[in-house]
Chain A
């Protein structure tokens, strides 16, 4: 199997999808000729022509709004919002339109679109290049929300998202674009070529949406995470020596509740981790579900490690980002509780 970075895996997924289905249309700001500011769409305009892959005006609402119209026509637009921090102008189109179209028209019109957006921090991106707005989408009926954590999943999940009949918010942790990140900013970055999940199958394959995966098997405590935090959680388990079971949720909506409850019922303890701010973050939903479904198995309060309830700062990056030390501390406390 070829080794790929997450960028290459995403590009490969889009390329194969475009080749398989001529209704797949790719556009966004700087996506066409230039190939995207993160190079995800590099070469696609050259290969498929500018009616399949093209540059868009700087209007997130326009990009998503036109994509909804295209989907109503019968195409499968896979559009890009340059940073998740800039999706808010399109929020009305996503929430009021894309998510509701099938329901309100009783299936007369559907909206098979994918809105890709780089998400997350850990890159000195400051306030508007680091946010993790997933909770704003998991609260919306009718959407699917996906966050891959490695090149292998990124390809399989993106191909599944493009083929999915419903609108998918596809959040790509930009910190993971070129290599895994374990939440140790002082340690050198390793490339995906040195990580087993950099092995990406050639050709078409999909990872079904709505399925979590156990990334590290353990018996002491269950850690629920997604995106960059999956690697941070694995590092925290290693650092503390606690035999944590790390679950990579991959899809937040719909959520794989079975994998979560099976694990927590086994370990009796649970720590939820995400980069996004704490209050009303997706972690709150995870905590509520675990409490509801695993109450009699719990040996300790469910802990949350998240971004602080502040805008994402610049200079204080590593005081803000929930790194391996903070996650490790929560693991220790949960084991001692």
Chain B
């Protein structure tokens, strides 16, 4: 059959652009508690529906319902709330510090606090995260000192990375936080390698890889899934779908696939989709996936459905590509408010105590900031030494670098 009509070229477009009314009517949100919780040794072919639904625990009334509820105690949830509030306050202060010229750059987590904060609680000491630049909750919830984070952001004399790295590209082996790279997707496949190593050594530790919706388009995403699948690596592969890759809506990376989680099916990897703004659901799913990995059942792919409320970075203005009020219309709400309401509902929390906690958290962050600024900020005060610039390229400095260091006068 001959078709002489010209072909047309397809480019996905978001529903709404600036000036339009935010519209998430096409996003189907299943009821809290409606998705099954399979056994961790389930055959992935039996839970294909989980990649197309959304696992949710907290309902509209702030109640924890369904088979995924109950993975944390009330006190643990209170701690989780504090972690998220701390990350939010930390973000706000560092955003301001960037505007004040104390650092060159910052990236916020606004709206995504539950993902990294709750996930961290499902890990055990010794497990290793391979994060992107938007999982600082792994550090906050893991007890990494806030002052150290700020020292890194300020590139000051106490910067643990000696001024070599762009702000927020933290690194801490002790806290299970692999060195963040500016090159997107690279760490996703490295996480699989770390997990393979753990299995090779018959260790009990597991790895977690992290990637955003946009970066799933990188080849590293594919390689990670192939290797994780082939070697049944003990790894949790996390996709944080915050709907946006800078100015590019998630449909550009997702294309015709129904969800990002569904990509796992082609690799035989159990793939779950979870409400990323539901602290309880994130934790329950993370725990399920971690348990699967630790029990030697292999990798799990998890898509966290959330929304990037803030700008991509301090160098970005989202009003140029999406409606200003879009985040208000986001149907999964705000992770902090949802957990707060749940804790009030179960009698563990009150509005007054929340207000008080906000003030306490802010005070803690300001104290840390004062402490960090004693060591300097990007343009004033103590700085890492110029010698540090030449160190650490290799374990031992080779002759050509020694010559260059001498030339630099240090």
Residues of A within 8 A of B (CB): 25, 51-52, 56-57, 59, 61-62, 65-70, 72-75, 77, 89, 92-93, 96-97, 100-110, 141-142, 144, 165-166, 210, 254-255, 257-258
B165-195 near A? 1/0 per residue, CB < 8 Å: 1000101110000110111001001111111
Report the Cα distance A75→B201, complex, angstroms. 9
In the complex formed, the residue of B with least CB distance to A255 is B400
Q: A97 — which chain B residues lie within 8 A by C-beta?
A: 181, 183, 186, 190
B223's partner among A65, A104, A258 (CB-CB below 8 A) is A65
Instruction: Verify A69–B220 contact, CB threshold 8 A.
Output: no
Instruction: Verify A96–B186 contact, CB threshold 8 A.
Output: yes
Q: Nearest chain A CB to B260's CB is how many angstroms away?
A: 19
Given A103-B164, A165-B395, A69 and B179 contact (CB-CB distance below 8 Å): no
> What is the total number of residues of chain B having a CB less than 8 Å from a CB of chain A?
46
Q: A57 — which chain B residues lie within 8 A by C-beta?
A: 226-227, 230
Instruction: Verify B193–A109 contact, CB threshold 8 A.
Output: no
Instruction: Verify A75–B200 contact, CB threshold 8 A.
Output: yes
Instruction: Verify A106–B183 contact, CB threshold 8 A.
Output: no
Q: Nearest chain A CB to B256's CB is how many angstroms away?
A: 24
Report the Cα distance A65→B221, complex, angstroms. 11
Residue pairs across A and B with Cβ atoms less than 8 A apart, 19 shown, are A61-B219, A62-B224, A62-B226, A65-B186, A69-B192, A70-B200, A72-B190, A104-B161, A104-B169, A105-B179, A106-B161, A106-B164, A106-B392, A107-B392, A144-B394, A165-B394, A255-B400, A257-B399, A258-B399
Report the Cα distance A104→B171, complex, angstroms. 8
Residues of B within 8 A of A (CB): 128, 130, 160-162, 164-165, 169, 171-173, 178-179, 181-183, 186, 189-201, 207, 219-220, 222-224, 226-227, 230, 392-395, 398-400
Q: A110 — which chain B residues lie within 8 A by C-beta?
A: 395
Instruction: Verify A102–B227 contact, CB threshold 8 A.
Output: no
Q: Nearest chain A CB to B195's CB is how many angstroms away?
A: 7
Q: A108 — which chain B residues lie within 8 A by C-beta?
A: 160, 171-173, 179
Instruction: Verify A65–B171 contact, CB threshold 8 A.
Output: no
Instruction: Verify B219–A69 contact, CB threshold 8 A.
Output: no
Instruction: Verify B165–A66 contact, CB threshold 8 A.
Output: no
In the complex formed, the residue of B with least CB distance to A72 is B194
Instruction: Verify B226–A73 contact, CB threshold 8 A.
Output: no
Q: Nearest chain A CB to B127's CB is how many angstroms away?
A: 11
Given A102-B393, A254-B400, A70 and B197 contact (CB-CB distance below 8 Å): yes
Q: A142 — which chain B residues lie within 8 A by C-beta?
A: 393-394
Report the Cα distance A28→B147, complex, angstroms. 43
